[in-house]
Amino acid sequence: MTTANPIRRPLIAGNWKMNLDLKASVELVRALTLAVPRGFQGEVMVAPPFTALTVVGEALRDSPIRLGAQDLFWEEKGAFTGEISASQLKDAGCWSVLIGHSERRRIFADTDAWVRRKLEAALKAGLIPVVCVGETLEERESQRTWRVLETQLKGGLEGFAPSALAPLVVAYEPVWAIGTGKTATPAQAQEAHLFIRKQAAALYGPAFASGLRILYGGSVTPENIDSLMAEPDIDGALVGGASLKADSFSRIVGFRSPAAR
């Protein structure tokens, strides 16, 4: 299960978080369409703020870069002030959506039960769900990393048919490495990714697990992307700050595999 799998296409996703106005958003994606390496065999996605989805989507028209959203609500419509539904994201041109990002869990108290309901809504709407899991520094230092990951995965993913979860992407984001400049070493990241793959196998079988794409997120930079992507169970990256600059994000997209170095 530690051997790189050709059916797992790399996915590099940029999470812009609460950054950039409309003008800057359009300027960035226009620069990205020119800077992202041609011939990339994987997939590239950017997730701007909700306010910029339609203008960014328009700027990405005829581009290989996909549009994603940073969150969603599980209800289709109704009196849910400030929320946005999966169908509204599809209508705005979204291909994918982040679910359960650590900032949603930590700041806005998103629970594993909420993650599961959001995942169900995303799948029903035909969005590619990127479900985020990861431990805090206190949890890692108290030897609870594996318990946290197991709980989050089971709480968020259990109860679906394996076929329904075929589009699923999981992102491992150690909370202690997000926006801190600290990065899990390639060995630490690989260890966590392999654990996640084994948990996926326990839930849905080895065939499902072998095809599951697992991204690493946590201070991904042009300087560390090559060594991270050299690990057999790391299938891409969820990029924060470095996705806000065309040159750094395009270098991450153009990571060099071990064979190319």
Catalytic center residues = 101, 173
* Distance (Å) of CA 248 to CA 158, 211, 239, 242: 36, 28, 10, 6
Residue linked to tokens 């969150």: 71
**Spatial contact of 174 and 218, defined as CB atoms under 8 Å apart:** yes
Among 32, 39, 64, smallest CA distance to 243 is for 32
C-alpha neighbours within 13 Å on the C-beta side of residue 164? 13
How many whole angstroms separate alpha carbon 258 and alpha carbon 241?
25
How many whole angstroms separate alpha carbon 54 and alpha carbon 60?
10
How many whole angstroms separate alpha carbon 187 and alpha carbon 245?
27
Q: HEC states along 113-182?
A: HHHHHHHHHHHHHCCEEEEEECCCHHHHHCCCHHHHHHHHHHHHHCCCCCCCCCCCEEEECCHHHCCCCC
* SS3 call for 14: strand
